[in-house]
Each structure stands twice: as C-alpha cells, then as structure tokens.
Amino acid sequence: MTGHAAMLAFRGAAALRLVRPAAALRAVTSSARRLATESGSTPAAGAESQNSMPRRAAAKPTESADASAFPSAVSFENELAGSESAPQGVRAFRDESPVAEDLTRSFRGVSAEPFPEQVARVLAEPINEDDIEVKPDGMLYLPEIKYRRLLNRAFGPGGWGLVPRGPHTVNNKNISREYALFALGRFVSQARGEQDFFGDDSLPTASEGCKSNALMRCCKDLGLAWELWDPVFIRKFKNEHAVMVSASHALTGAKKYLWRRKDRTLDYPYKEEASAAKSSSFRR
C-alpha cells in the first residue's frame, strides 16, 4: 500500500468512528419517538439536539406526608382550602379545629356593630382612682392585672384573647412584639408591646411584660382606663394624690427627686429623706 493510500484509509476509519456514535444516537432517538407515539404522548421539540446525558427526574411529594406537622404548610393550605384557583394537584388541608381562621392576619368583625349594652356599660365605667399607681418618674399607670379583670367583667373569662401577630424583636436591651386583641370572636385592636431587659436570663420575664404592655395599649380602643391618656386628668390626679419627694439610694447614697402617691411609700432601694416634700406643681 502506498503512502497516499494508507493516509486515505486512516481518514476513512476515523470518519467511521465519528459516524457510528451519531448513528447510534439517531437510532435511540427514533426508538424513543416510536414508543412515545404508541403510548399516545409526543416527545418534546428539539429532542434530537439534546445530548445523551439522562436527566434526573424531580422527586414527587409523598402522599403520606402529614401537613399538620408543619405550621407554615398548615397556614398555606388553609388559604387554599376556600380558593377555587388552587393549583391542580395541591390538596388543601382543612383544619377541623373550632378556630380554622388564621388569626395572625385576620381583621374579622372589625367595627361590624357595637358590643352589647351590658358590655358597653362595663367598658365605659370611670377608672377607680384607688387602682392608679405612680411610677418614680411621675407616670400614671394601671397594673396589667386590672385590665384583665375589666376584660373578664365585660366579656367573661374566655370571651377575649390576645393573639401574637409576629415574632419577638430583640434589639439591644429591648424586646417587642405585635399583638392583636380579639373579643367575642371579633378583632378589636392591634399594638406593639415592649419591655426593657438587662440580661439574656431575664428574656422570658421580659417577654411576658411585653405582652402585658401590648394589652394595655390595645385596651385604649375599648375606652378602658382612658383617663390615663388624658392630660387634664393626669394633672388633676397628680395635684390631688401624688407628691415629689427627695430620696437617697440605699447602696450608693445618690440623691434624687422621685414621685409617689401620698398614701404610699417609696420602694427599695430608695429611702425618703426627712426634708419636706415638693408640690406636684414643681414639675409639669
């Protein structure tokens, strides 16, 4: 064989090796198309241009998965339960509990109608001045347990509830959270409660104070203890029932002026000085 003939034979063999894989790919594609036609389906366009690397099939969700084990899934599926536009193949999970509504976002019943007359009478009662407390900085407040007692009188135990509307927010030494007040199955008000804390070990107690602070703020919309937000009432009460006194710290000896009720004494660690108390008009 001459050198020219040997070169032609080498090129022909190389071409044959290239043609055989292409022919094999065409044969596989033709077989797949024939099987698809027999089963009644049509292969996707451009199948011949794809490489022979098989694709991994997407995993199908198991039918035995319990949606109730995942709170986020429950919330999502509850939305789909009453929706006609739910994607095909998505099974809506219906909550069979008495409260099937997502109260973290609901405003159901807001301003639908006034509360019954017997409820309105309790809510409109003037505040009992014996229940009012005075903070050392002069701020008036009603202990949170008093709000709960008033709500129980108005709506009955179990007739009202405070629902969290989001997670806690912790920033520096302050914790806060959004809450909504519901009464007799109706949305009443929403407010963010807050509480300062001084160490991570006090966070559980601070979160409870945060909830009580939100309850106090929500009760404003019901008119409970509205006097504590009225500047005229505040000035009048402090003139009649509060006094500013000079006090010293029991540990450091630091002196400062603090407020107290006239019928109360200062709490530890402050001790009232023997000097005469100042009038409430000293600070407005």
pLDDT of residue 113: 86
Q: Which residue has the higher pLDDT, 189 or 91?
A: 189
| pTM of the predicted structure, to 2 decimals | 0.59
- Judge whether residue 175 has pLDDT over 80: yes
Query: How do residues 21-55 score in pLDDT, each as one tens digit?
Result: 455 556 555 655 665 555 554 444 444 444 444 45
Determine the Cα angle at 230 with ends 215 and 146, to 5°.
35
- Provide long-range contacts, Cβ within 8 A and 24+ apart, for 245-249: 245/272, 245/273, 245/277, 245/278, 246/272, 246/273, 246/275, 246/277, 246/278, 247/271, 247/272, 247/273, 248/273
Label residue 104 by pLDDT band (50, 70, 90).
confident
pLDDT above 60 (res 19) = no
Most confident residue range from 10-14, 159-163, 276-280: 159-163
Token pair recorded at residue 178: 């959004």
Q: Is the pLDDT of residue 220 over 80?
A: yes
What pLDDT sits at residue 110?
A: 84
* Helix H or strand E encompassing 192: strand 186-196
Across 237-264, average pLDDT: 92
pLDDT digits (tens, 9 = 90+) for 195-217: 999 888 888 899 999 999 999 99
The answer to whether residue 242 scores a pLDDT higher than 90 is yes
| Two structure tokens written together for 134 | 């005075």
Which H/E stretch holds residue 270? strand 270-272
Phi, psi for 162 (deg, rounded to 5):
-110, 120
Residue 253: the pLDDT is 87
pLDDT surpasses 90 at 277: no
CA dihedral (120, 126, 128, 134) in degrees, to 10, reads 110
As a whole number of angstroms, the distance between CA 214 and CA 198 comes to 20
pLDDT of residue 186: 92
For strand 140-141 and strand 133-134, is the pairing parallel, antiparallel, or unpaired?
antiparallel
* C-alpha atoms less than 13 angstroms from C-alpha of 87 in its C-beta half-sphere: 4
Q: Where in the chain is the domain with CATH 3.30.390.80?
A: 117-123+144-224
> What is the structure's pLDDT at 279?
53
What 3-state DSSP class applies to 188?
A: strand
How confident is the model over 76-92, as pLDDT tens digits? 334 434 445 444 544 44
Q: Give the Cβ contact number of residue 210 at 10 Å.
A: 24
CATH number for the domain formed by residue range(s) 117-123+144-224? 3.30.390.80
Please give the DSSP secondary-structure letter assigned to residue 200: G
pLDDT at residue 108 in the model: 83
Taking residues 229-245, report their average pLDDT: 95
More confidently predicted of 130 and 18:
130
Q: What is the mean pLDDT of residues 206-235?
A: 94
Instruction: Please report, rounded to a whole number, the percentage of residues in the chain having pLDDT higher than 70.
Output: 61
- By percentage, how much of the chain surpasses pLDDT 90? 46
